[in-house]
């Protein structure tokens, strides 16, 4: 479990380093376009600038989601949550 926390901390650091300009660039919005159109344009521009950074952000998102899924599974199996909320006797 400690190894997974270290991996998550490294992923967060890489996300901060590589995702900073993606966050900064997401604020240039046109008033007549919706959120989805603006997001797709930002992703297209971000991909054309450097495709490897976009792949790293996707890997980061998948790793964070898988870490959260494993963490939830571990908590449910080790702390008997179903018995606590009354689903099992």
In tens, the pLDDT along 30-70 reads 556 666 677 777 778 777 877 787 788 888 889 999 999 99
- The pLDDT, as a whole number, for residue 58 is 85
Q: Which residue has the higher pLDDT, 22 or 84?
A: 84
Q: What is the pTM of this model?
A: 0.44
- The pLDDT, as a whole number, for residue 23 is 54
- The pLDDT, as a whole number, for residue 66 is 95
Query: In whole angstroms, what is the distance from residue 69 CA to residue 43 CA?
Result: 26
- The pLDDT, as a whole number, for residue 35 is 62
Query: In whole angstroms, what is the distance from residue 68 CA to residue 72 CA?
Result: 6
**CA-closest candidate to residue 39, choices 62, 23, 52:** 23
Question: How many CA atoms, within 13 angstroms, populate the side-chain half-sphere of residue 8?
Answer: 13
* Cα distance from N-terminal residue to C-terminal residue, the chain: 29
Per the prediction, the chain carries an average pLDDT of: 76
């Amino acid at each position: 479990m400690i190894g997974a926390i270290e991996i998550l901390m490294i992923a967060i650091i890489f996300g901060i380093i590589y995702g900073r300009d993606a966050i900064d660039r997401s604020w240039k919005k046109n008033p007549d376009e919706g959120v989805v159109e603006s997001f797709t344009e930002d992703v297209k521009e971000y991909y054309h600038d450097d495709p490897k950074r976009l792949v790293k952000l996707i890997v980061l998102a998948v790793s964070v989601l898988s870490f959260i899924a494993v963490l939830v599974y571990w908590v449910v199996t080790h702390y008997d949550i179903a018995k606590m909320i009354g689903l099992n006797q």
